[in-house]
A and B are shown apart, each in its own frame.
Chain A
Amino acid sequence: MSTERTLADLAPSEQGRIRTVVGTDGLTQRLWELGFTPGQRVDVVRFAPLGDPIQVRVRGFDVALRRNEARRILLESEEA
């Protein structure tokens, strides 16, 4: 079907549900540890003035990350 939907595809104030985070390196591990875990809801709060990085909310706290990193966070295709 279509290509995978990721956190980087969302616009400000859109949200999605995390399917998984890809990768095995330190950054992926840190994302997992911070609570970007399967089934969690994640909101895009806003983009930085220059369009990157983006501010997202997971488990009630805010994190800034670049689009490039947000692409590792895969979302469930359809909102249930």
Chain B
Amino acid sequence: MNRPIASGAGRAFLPPDAPARPAKEFVVAVIGNPNTGKTTLFNALTGLTQHTGNYPGVTVESALGEFRVGQHRFHAVDLPGSYSLAPRAPDEMVAVRVLLGRGIGIVKPDVVLCVLDASHLDRNLYLLTQVLELGLPVVVALTMMDLAQRDGIVIDTDAIEQKLGVPVVAVHSTRRTGFDRLRQMLLRAAQERRAPRRHVGFPPGFDREVDSLQQLFPQNGQSPVPRFLVERLLADAGGFVEDELSQEHGESVRAAAVAARARLASAGTPVPQVEVDARYRWIGGVVDDHVRRSQRTDVSWTDRIDAVVTHKLWGTVVFLVAMAVTFQAIFAWAAPVMDLIDGAVQQVATWIGALMSEGPLRSMVLDGVIGGAGAVLVFVPQIAVLFALITVLEDSGYMARAAFLMDRIMSGFGLSGRSFIPLLSSFACAVPGIMSARAIENRRDRLVTILIAPLMSCSARLPVYVLFISAFVPAYAVGGVIGLQGLTLFGLYMIGLIVAPLVALVLKRTALRGPAVPFLLELPPYKIPSWRVVFFRMYDRSWAFIRRAGTIILATAILIWALSYYPRSADLTAKYETLKAQAPAAEVSRLEAEEAGEQLRGSYLGQMGQAVEPIVKPLGWDWKIGMAAIASFPAREVVIAALGTIYNLGSGESETSSELRDVMRAQRWPDGRPVYTPAVALSVMVFFALCCQCAATLATMKRETGSWRYPAITFVYMTTLAYVAAFVVYQLGSRMFGA
């Protein structure tokens, strides 16, 4: 048999003294302008190893991944999209920190992969000129070559490679071309560790000022300040580097920088112009020599789409339709999969119920684990659909247009269109929403956006809405077209959209008052979204949800189960045993339910619940809803697990555990009135729409703002708002519906 010898097996035949090259590990940082196809490239490079996590030493989450070149392993980090390395926003500072390896525990990359959009080469080269000055080996990936070609741009890649002095590889992420060479070049660059040569020269006056500012910093202290940062200190008036170095080395640093800038200005070379002029002059030379441009005459697709999408009338229609389709899809597309999961969970419950004998353990598994945490799993498909749609909106380029359309309205509340993207992402989850606020340069604007982001109806609220709507809102179509259920859902989403601007307005008038904030946003060409990127986001976020279901939700569900199972009253059990023995067969199940109800009332949870009932009574809730709401402060979707557990235990018939919504419909007050009237259901939903029941959100806020002050403010204002709104809704609703 003629079998090819695998490389690993082949090595065994080498003479023992042959130097086997040891496999090494390298770190590669990927950087580029926004909208260059960087994420798609990162995805193609790292494949299924990609995940979101923390780069060593950096507290903010980024996309991480791995790939192999031969026997060597590369760890890759996808840095935030940046137009330049002059940090003005926190996410740009993250990029600079990682590239310079500055900060405790931050691993300096072995090589930088700079992604350049070939169809906008001049602007992209601006970032590259700065990256080339970091002293790290650099490899350039050229993306969007097909777009450039279509625009009549012809690039002499070899000549540009010569000129830059670093490898330049044209890649196509969906067709996967150029990746072999890209990986080889990354390996070679990481092994040779040669710093690229510097191309852009500044006027001598600028260099002299940098030299003298450098004297302010100890040359061999714990963290020597590299020349790159000193240049940034000089060039970026009021920038992040100025703030940071002044904090570390005293305010004299700021004073020296201000004085140096004044000298440069009077010499006719003011910052920031002097730096930008020098870079673009050099770029102009490269582009003039090696890029040919023929004037295109036809109107591009992007222009044609924009003519509709940003039109006064049609643009508004498209915007509303896009939002409506998103919400409709969440209900319609996810439903079949949800039914499947629900069926599977029920099936597992039946099997396990048949296998185990009566007792606390069986009760915990059925009522706590399956009835609680299992009930949450049903909502995974909706989370997946929501994240997929938001990623499509973002990746296609529509999100930027939505920000363009909304800016005027947002400016009425003291915000800018920039805040629109974090706020819209918060509809998926406030955690990535708050993190994406990093891209907002203005601090006050960023804080307001972070403080109102949790008001957007996140995907964790969706299960709560879906449960209550499907249980208590009739599937009736208004005028035969628009479903009342969908309409209610839309209304709940609108609550956040109405309240958030009002809160922003109050904040902008009081605690975070300041001058109007500028708005500047690139409108990238439209493109077909990368399905790999969409799939990855969907998969990543759904897994995060399932992990939560397996940890925090499971733990809370078991805790609630224990609180509502113990203490068991032996007297009660004995009493009902005798009653059941005497009663006719038809009466037994009624007696069992009665017994379960009494046991639950006597449990720790029941005792606590009755203590809090006076607080939740004005909202129309009974103590069971009250306890479920309180239990869900760590994570709001816990409420489903909590209700599931409480009602399962309270029904005494978990072996035929029927669907939660049927159980809820059957709930009665002691006097026989149904617990859930439409007014009560609305009051619960409104409470959940406005309340800040999410420990992860509060923790993220603390991390992003650097203090507990803002999460504390958020928690207090949202909880108060939620209580007051639920109160008003119930009091008005119960009078309107007459119950």
Contact = CB atoms under 8 A, between A and B. Distances in A.
Interface string B274-310: 0011001000000000000000000000110010001
A31 B140 CA distance: 24
Contact of B520 (A20, A25, A51, A63): A63
A32 B272 contact: yes
A28 B272 contact: yes
B417 interface: yes
B271 interface: yes
Contacts of A68: 516, 518
Q: Among B261, B302, B417, B520, which residue has the most Cβ atoms of chain A within 10 A?
A: B520
Interface in B518-551: 518-524
Contacts of B398: none
B120 A59 contact: yes
Nearest to B521: A64
Contact of A27 (B123, B280, B518): B518
Contacts of B634: none
Contacts of A29: 86, 88, 236-237, 239, 272, 276
Given A26-B88, A59-B120, A48 B271 contact: no
Interface string A21-64: 00011111111111101000000011011111101000111111
B72 interface: no
A31 B273 CA distance: 10
A35 B123 contact: yes
Q: How large is the interface on A (under 10, 10 to 19, 20 to 34, 35 or more residues)?
A: 20 to 34
Interface in B33-90: 83-84, 86, 88
A26 B235 CA distance: 11
Contacts of A62: 302, 522-524
B122 A51 contact: no
B123 A64 contact: no
A37 B520 contact: no
B387 interface: no
B316 interface: yes
Given A33-B126, A37-B277, A69-B519, A49 B272 contact: no
B404 A64 contact: yes
Contacts of B276: 29, 32-33, 37
Nearest to B307: A46
Interface stretch (B405-413, B502-510, B686-694): B405-413
Contacts of B24: none
A29 to B, nearest CB: 4
A27 B236 CA distance: 11
B237 A48 contact: no
Contacts of A8: none
Given A28-B272, A51-B408, A34 B123 contact: yes
B520 A31 contact: yes
Nearest to B35: A61
Nearest to B85: A33
A71 B22 CA distance: 60
Given A24-B271, A32-B273, A50 B310 contact: no
A24 B310 CA distance: 32
Nearest to A37: B280
A62 B316 CA distance: 20
Contact of A48 (B84, B236, B277, B405): B405
Nearest to A33: B84
B282 to A, nearest CB: 12
Contacts of B120: 59-61
B123 A48 contact: no
Contact of A49 (B302, B303, B316, B403): B316
Interface in B343-383: none
Contacts of A50: 408-409
Contacts of B618: none
B714 interface: no
Contacts of B520: 27, 30-31, 34, 63-65, 69
B311 interface: yes
A71 to B, nearest CB: 11
Interface string B487-523: 0000000000000000000000000000010111111
Contacts of B273: 20, 32
A42 B519 CA distance: 18
B516 A30 contact: no
B407 A64 contact: yes
A59 B293 CA distance: 12
Nearest to A32: B276
Q: Among A46, A63, A66, which residue has the most Cβ atoms of chain B within 10 A?
A: A66
Interface of A: 20, 24-35, 37, 45-46, 48-53, 55, 59-66, 68-69
30 contacts: A24-B270, A26-B237, A26-B441, A27-B518, A29-B236, A29-B237, A29-B239, A29-B272, A30-B441, A30-B520, A32-B273, A33-B86, A34-B83, A35-B122, A37-B277, A37-B280, A46-B310, A48-B310, A48-B404, A53-B408, A60-B119, A60-B120, A61-B123, A61-B522, A64-B417, A66-B411, A66-B518, A66-B519, A69-B518, A69-B519
Interface of B: 83-84, 86, 88, 119-120, 122-123, 126, 151, 236-239, 261, 270-273, 276-277, 280, 302-303, 306, 310-312, 315-316, 400, 403-405, 407-409, 411, 417, 441, 516, 518-524
Given A30-B84, A32-B273, A63-B521, 13 more contacts: A24-B270, A26-B239, A29-B86, A29-B237, A31-B520, A46-B306, A48-B407, A49-B408, A50-B408, A55-B523, A61-B123, A65-B518, A69-B518
The 4 nearest A-B residue pairs measured at CB: A50-B408, A32-B276, A29-B272, A62-B523
